[in-house]
Amino acid sequence: MKTIKLAVVGLLLIGSYNCKEVKKEADKAGDAMEESMDEMENKANDMMDDQEEKTITFMMEPKSDSNVSGKVTFTEEDGEVSMKAELSGLSEGEHAIHIHQTADCSADDGTSAGGHWNPTNQPHGKWGASEGYHKGDIGNFTADGDGNATVNFSTDEWCIGCDDENKNIMGKAVIVHQGQDDYTSQPSGAAGARVSCTGIIQ
């Protein structure tokens, strides 16, 4: 009887010892896992910083005694910049929209924004034309009977604040014209008065 009791106590002791060891090992494994989780999180954050989606939004102000206003948003993602302009107060029909060279809309007629943004010294033309085109030659869009329009455009030839001055749209201006771009007249497509303007600034 005594032998059995001793054996039971012995087993219990061994059992509890084993339990402690197992717990220690589990704690160690837990710590290691936590460390590698932290590492993974840091790596993920670094990757997010690299390919962070950039979005900038500006309000367009009427120029040349027009009522044309709106909102323009640029988003950069995966090396492509997309532009969305939501405009109102336009006359029905086609209008030109361009990026001009200076983020200065102070003049009543918008001329303070300068000529078309054309860092690569190309002739004015339709976007993508083999004869050449300005980096600011977005093109024409159509306003509906209520004077509203939404313009969507995207390209990998722009960037938001990168080091390549042939791509960087920061410091430039968005201009909407009263008329349409004929894509041939130099240097600006004979699109008429500048009816809305905003600077692309941070």
Contacts of 42 (CB under 8 A, 6+ apart): none
- Encoding tokens for residue 28? 């160690």
Neighbour order of strands in the sheet with 80-88: 139-143, 93-100, 173-177, 194-199, 54-62, 69-77, 80-88, 149-155
With CB atoms as reference, the residue minimizing the distance to Cu ion is 98
- Encoding tokens for residue 102? 């200076």
- CB of 175 or CB of 195, closer to Cu ion: 175
The residue ranges that bind Cu ion (CB under 5 A) are 98, 175
Task: Supply the minimum distance, in Å, between the C-beta of residue 98 and Cu ion.
Answer: 3
Task: Supply the minimum distance, in Å, between the C-beta of residue 150 and Cu ion.
Answer: 19
- Between CA 183 and CA 157 the distance in angstroms is 19
- CB of 114 or CB of 147, closer to Cu ion: 114
Task: Supply the minimum distance, in Å, between the C-beta of residue 96 and Cu ion.
Answer: 6
Task: Supply the minimum distance, in Å, between the C-beta of residue 137 and Cu ion.
Answer: 9
Taking the mean position of all CA atoms in its chain, how far away is CA 119? 21
Going 90 to 159 to 155 to 79, the CA torsion angle's sign is: negative
Residue where the block lists tokens 């500006």:
58
- CB of 98 or CB of 167, closer to Cu ion: 98
- CB of 54 or CB of 171, closer to Cu ion: 171
